[in-house]
């Protein structure tokens, strides 16, 4: 009986060795460093906002359900819709004139 060849898994790259998937270059590209840093800062600034947004959305949904509302017009004319899948959609009034002014 012939022996089966063992297939090894590809070796994982350790975080400390500095290579990414065959990237053997030693060059530094300042433009990539700068743009990556800008992206990282923007992403990290957005994460806390995403958490607050989720909490505010959940609170709004719970309040609308408790009050039996699926559609609500705000003081500024915006319309809040609660969809069947319990999602929120807010539509701002058009700036072209909404007929009243």
Q: Give CA–CA dist 14/11, Å, rounded.
A: 9
pLDDT tens by residue, 6-31:
666 666 655 555 555 556 667 788 89
Residue 16 lies in a domain: no
Residue 57 lies in a domain: yes
pLDDT tens by residue, 27-58:
788 898 899 899 899 989 988 888 899 999 99
> 80 phi and psi, to 5 degrees?
-105, 120
Residue 96 lies in a domain: no
Average pLDDT over residues 97-101: 48
Q: Give me the number of domains the chain comprises.
A: 1
pLDDT score of 88: 92
Residue 78 structural domain: 29-91
Q: Is 13 helix (H, G, I), strand (E, B) or coil?
A: coil
Per DSSP, what are the bridge partners of residue 73?
A: 79
Residue 101 lies in a domain: no
Banded pLDDT at 63 (limits 50, 70, 90): very high
Other beta carbons less than 10 A from residue 61's beta carbon: 15
Q: Which two tokens stand for residue 58?
A: 């959940």
Residue 51 lies in a domain: yes
Residue 54 lies in a domain: yes
- pLDDT of residue 1 exceeding 80, the answer is no
């Amino acid at each position: 009986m012939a022996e089966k060849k063992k297939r090894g898994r590809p070796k994982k790259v350790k975080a400390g060795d500095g290579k990414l998937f065959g990237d053997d270059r030693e060059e530094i590209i300042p433009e990539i460093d700068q743009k990556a840093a800008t992206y990282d800062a923007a992403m990290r600034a957005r994460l806390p906002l995403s958490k607050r947004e989720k909490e505010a959305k959940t609170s709004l949904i719970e309040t609308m359900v408790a009050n039996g509302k699926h559609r609500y017009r705000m003081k500024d004319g915006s319309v809040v819709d609660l969809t069947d899948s319990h999602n929120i959609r807010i539509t701002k009034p058009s700036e072209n004139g909404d007929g009243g002014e």
